[in-house]
Every structure is written in C-alpha cells, then in structure tokens.
Amino acid sequence: MSELRIYSEKDGSTPLNVHTKHADIAHELASLGVRFEKWEATQPIAPGASPEDVIAAYRADIERLQREEGYQAVDVVSLNPDHPERSALRAKFLNEHTHAEDEVRFFVAGRGQFSLHLGDKVYEVLCTQGDLIGVPDGARHWFDMSEAPYFVAIRLFTNPAGWVANFTGSDIAENFPRLCAQPVAT
C-alpha cells in the first residue's frame, strides 16, 4: 500500500502526518508540484516480461506524459534481492541530490521510497505497484530501495543521457527512516 509520511526536516523520528489513501497522497503532493498517479495496465504482463512488453502495457499513459511534459526517453529498470550490485546501487541513491530534469518513475511491480526535502519538511513517499511519481527538477530528494530491493519501474527522461544527479553534500538523509525489506511470504 502506498504511503506518505510528512516530517519536520529537523526530526526524522516522528511523522507530523501520515496519509495512506491514494487520493490524499496525490492531493498533498500536487500542492508541492509533485505528480502522483495510479496507472493500470492495458494488457497482462507476464513475470519476466521484456522491457518492450512492459512499455507496451502502459503505452497510452507513457505517450500522454510524453505529450504533456516533453519526455524523450523511456526505459525499464528491474532490480531483485539477489542482484550482485544491490548494495552499491542502493548507496548511489541514498544521498540527497537534485536533477536538472524531472525524475519520473512508474512502479510496474515492487516498491521504493522517495524522500523529498521540500521547504522545511521531508515527505517520504512509499511507492508501490501502480504508482507513478514525478519529482520536479531541482527538488532535493533521495531514494531507497531497501537492502533487499525488488521493483520493476518505467523511467521517463527529457535528457536522453538518463539519470544524472547533482549531490547536495547534505547528510540529512541519514536522519530519516530507511525502507525495510519486505517480508518474504512463506
């Protein structure tokens, strides 16, 4: 289930507010210029589907965003708990950074946590299957996929070079909760 926790930038121990209804999360984030949508596949996606099949299942929404926002590049990224470079990949995204373009991610499967440092607050957004988040260019943020990551995400870019971060040098992310690994069903 998607969740938004709002913290004071000075206290990562106790949220000021928590939202779990998608409409409430979308409304709160929209007031900050952050896009948050729920998408549905137009065709079934089989486990292990090719990136082309994943993109095809969401083509209408992808093309709508490309028309609205001018995104030029689309790809699919997939990460699972047994990926040999999972720790290094996680560490890459855990420090506060910005981008010169929007960071747009749609979660086809799995989950990830975006933490947005906007004004004097930190907005932790747990994105799950079906969630699209669009973090505006210049917004300070970090991303956590947990120590046992599992997600398949569609990424949209205006820059064909893809993900380019500008790290702020702040250690603020160290003061906020990390995403815990999902329990494995038995």
Model pLDDT for residues 62-93, shown as the tens digit of each residue? 999 999 999 989 999 999 999 999 999 999 99
Torsion of CA 14, 17, 21, 27, to 10 degrees: -140
Q: Look up the CATH superfamily of 38-114+127-165.
A: Jelly Rolls (2.60.120.10)
| pLDDT score, position 44 | 77
* Residue with more model confidence, 185 or 16: 16
Phi first, then psi: give them for residue 52, nearest 5 degrees. -65, -40
* Residue with more model confidence, 150 or 186: 150
Closest CA to 54 of 39, 65, 67: 39
- Residue 73 pairs in a beta bridge with 157
How many helices (H) and strands (E) are present in the chain, helices listed first? 4, 11
| pLDDT score, position 74 | 94
For the chain, the domains span: 38-114+127-165
Q: Once rounded to an integer, what is the mean pLDDT over residues 130-140? A: 96
Report the SS3 class of residue 122. strand
